[in-house]
Structure 1
Amino acid sequence: MVCALGAAVCFGTATVLQAVAARAAAGSGSGGDAALLLRALRQWRYLAGLALDGLGFLLQIAALRSIPIYAVGAALAASLAVTAVVAARLLQVRLSRVEWGAVGVVCAGLAMLGLASGTEGERAGSTELKYAMLGVAVLVLLAGVVAGRLPERGRALVLGLGAGFGFGVVEVAVRLIDDLSVGALLGNPATYALLLGGGAAFVLLTSALQRGSVTTATAGLVIGETIGPALVGVVWLGDRTRDGLEWLAVLGFAVAVVGALALARFGEAPVEEGVAGGGAVAG
């Protein structure tokens, strides 16, 4: 659980650092997205954010190999709470009382999950499940193509959900890879599910944030990356809670996810217009 929470802290902080760097880069010259990215890469905050993303991914893998998927998914959704708190300090974003309350709700949900979570399930993933995850990854990619043609109102939600399912595939696939030798990795469908699901999720989330409401897209992302993988972990991989604490795990999971949804506007670190150089409020 410490690794899962560490991953949430890394991802949440990285979002804000990259937002600060991107804003500074946007204010230092003109040009398209490629030029903006090149200028951002010269900002130490952007590079620090990328390093935190890498560390967060390693911590996520360690967590997925140790505790149930439902606990990791809820903890990763809590990165929105980290983003909100850090943005309040670094970006001077004003959090409402409701949003501060949501941060507390997320923390309470994670505390309940920490108390109730058992060890990861001992069931080995079947070959059918590995191919199923690969199939879901392909469907996520196809859904992104279709969603791009939807009306603007529904497009962000569908793209966000697709990205969530893609990241969910990554969470499950990590559990389905038990041999890290080159030959075993190349022959394991879960390896390709992880790569395709993660790549598709990144593309869909980027498209959702660029072409629709950040709040809507992030809400879809949170739902997609928590509920589905949690069910797979419980039903097919044997994830369980401590004896007699099933109710606490369900309650903690629900509370953490609801709190994260209340903070969905922080899916792309928002910046209030006119604060420290300008910008627009995301969402």
Structure 2
Amino acid sequence: MLLGLLMALAAALCFGVAMVLQALGAQRHSPSAEGSGLLGTVRAMVNLPFAAGLLLDALGFVAQLIALRSLPLYVVQAALAGALAVTAVLGAALLRIRLGRAEWAGVAGVCVGLAVLGATAGAEGHKQPGMAFHWMLLAAVLVIAAVGGFVWKLREPVRAAVMGTLCGLGFGVVGLAVRVLPAIHGLDLWPLLSEPATYALLAGGAVSFVFMTEGVRGGKVTTATAAMVLGETALPAVLGVVLLGDRTRPGMLPLALAGFALAVVGALALARFGEVSPVEEAPAEVAEPSHPTRIG
């Protein structure tokens, strides 16, 4: 379990630092210089900080996979939402983003909540739902994609909230899919290739990234990120308990619930750091940027 906790925290750290590095990289290429279309966005990604951020995203994903194989789902998903605390602290130091009292309280809430979860978490559940559940995960991704296509042209801020929620649910499917994947023995990859949960994992990650991108394009970063945090934590946590058998240590359920709630509420207080950008010297509010970044 200790390895799983370390991997969950490492994933949050990687995702949080990746956000800041990608923001630094994006600053080097203004839309006016690179163009506002897809080509300009791609050019803005071709620099060392942005590439380093993408590498950290990949490392964070690997750490997340390891954590999900040894920890209850509710712990890992809450830890990933806690990546916003890493981004907030680094953003304050490197991007001159000003943190108010509420945001520092959010950072503290995430840290305390995750500490409580780590202290109260039991071992991962060992229930194995039937193959029908594996196919349901893949079907869920298709439903999420279809709903996203249907609401694509909604007006803001409803569009951002729906896109963020769909993104969070997609990442929740990723977490559930990892938990039900079969073990690999040697170089025999057929169990993975023939497993619908494998394709649910891949498709869920891709769909979620697209919807998070679209959720923040309208400038409603806080709305989209808050919806994503709720989508990727609440429902997957419940399903992990009900279907996969995740449990807390004996007698610690109330404390674990309090820690989970504290971590999620803290992450919601930091939702605007789903996108980070530098602050002008004396603005009343932080301007929201145009380069979306996934947190976990």
Q: Which deviates the most, 207-216 or 57-66?
A: 207-216
Work out whether 1:10 is the aligned partner of 2:17.
no
Any idea what SS the aligned residue of 1:25 has? coil
Residue 189 (1) aligns with residue 196 (2): yes
Deviation of residue 190 (structure 1)?
0.5
Deviation string 1:219-241 (CA, Å, 9 cap, x unpaired) is: 11000000111111100111111
CA distance in 1, matches of 2:140, 2:229: 17
Kindly indicate whether residue 257 of structure 2 is the aligned counterpart of residue 250 of structure 1.
yes
Alpha-carbon spacing, 1:35–1:273, altered in 2? closer, same or farther (3 Å): farther
1:109·1:254 contact (CA, 8 Å) conserved in 2? yes
1:160·1:221 contact (CA, 8 Å) conserved in 2?
yes
CA-to-aligned-CA distance 1:126-155 (integer Å, 9 cap, x gap) = 212111111111111011111212222211
Note the 1:158-169 alignment, pairs <5 A. Answer: 158-169=162-173
Q: Could you tell me which amino acid in structure 1 is paired with residue 261 of structure 2?
A: A
Q: Matches of 1:33 and 1:86 in 2, distance apart?
A: 29
Partner of 1:143: 147
Q: Distance in 1 between matches of 2:167 and 2:217?
A: 14
Shift of 1:60: 0.2
Q: Which region of structure 1 is more displaced relative to structure 2, 36-45 or 108-117?
A: 36-45
1:241 aligns with 2:229: no
**Secondary structure, in 3 states, of the residue corresponding to 1:118?**
coil
Post-superposition CA distance 1:93-145 (Å, at most 9, x none): 00001111110011110011010001111112321211111111111101111
Distance 2:156 2:49 in 1: 33
TM-score (normalised: structure 1): 0.94
- Between the aligned residues of both structures, percent identity stands at 49
Q: Is the 8 A contact 1:162 1:221 kept in 2?
A: yes
TM-score by length of 2: 0.90
- Report the equivalent of 1:203: 210
Match in the other structure for 2:27: 23
1:212 CA displacement: 4.3
Are 2:36 and 1:32 aligned?
Answer: yes
Q: CA deviation at 1:28?
A: 8.4
For 1:155-211, what per-residue CA distance to the aligned partner results, in whole angstroms no more than 9, with x for missing partners? 100000000000000000001111344221222110111111111111100000102
- In structure 2, relative to structure 1, the CA distance for the partners of 1:27 and 1:157 (3 Å cut) is closer
The letter for the 1-side match of 2:108 is G
Verify the 8 A CA contact 1:155 1:212 in the aligned structure 2: no
Quote the residue 1:226 is aligned against: 233
Secondary structure in structure 2 of the residue aligned to 1:138? helix
Q: Which one of 127, 130, 142 corresponds to residue 126 of structure 1?
A: 130
What is the number of equivalent residue pairs in this alignment?
280
Structure 2 SS opposite 1:236: helix
The answer as to 2:271 corresponding to 1:264 is yes
Q: Distance in 1 between matches of 2:236 and 2:147?
A: 18
Quick check: 2:219–2:288 contact (8 Å CA) kept in 1? no
In the alignment, the residues of structure 1 paired with residue 60 and residue 84 of structure 2 have an alpha-carbon distance, to the nearest angstrom, of 14
Structure 1 residues 240-249 or 156-165, which shifts more? Answer: 240-249
* Amino acid corresponding to residue 232 of structure 2 in structure 1: E
Structure 2 distance, partners of 1:83, 1:113, is: 21
How many Å separate the matches in 1 of 2:277 and 2:211? 20
Residue 161 of structure 2 corresponds to residue 157 of structure 1: yes
- Say which of 102, 106, 110 aligns to 1:102: 106
Compute the displacement of 1:282 (Å). 4.3
Amino acid paired to 2:84: L
Partner SS, residue 93 of structure 1: coil
Amino acid aligned to 1:239:
D
Structure 2 counterpart of 1:260, one-letter code = A
- The one-letter amino acid paired with 1:183 is W
What is the deviation of 1:38? 4.0
Q: Unpaired runs of 5+ in structure 1? A: none
RMSD: 1.8
State the partner residue of 2:287: 280
Equivalences for residues 47-66 of structure 1 within 5 A: 47-66=51-70
**Cα distance in 2 for residues equivalent to 1:160 and 1:227:** 14
In structure 2, how many angstroms separate the alpha carbons of the residues matched to 1:50 and 1:70? 25
Indicate conservation of the 8 Å contact 2:123/2:248, yes or no. Answer: yes
Seen in structure 2, the aligned counterparts of structure 1 residues 116 and 189 have a Cα distance that, compared at 3 Å, is same
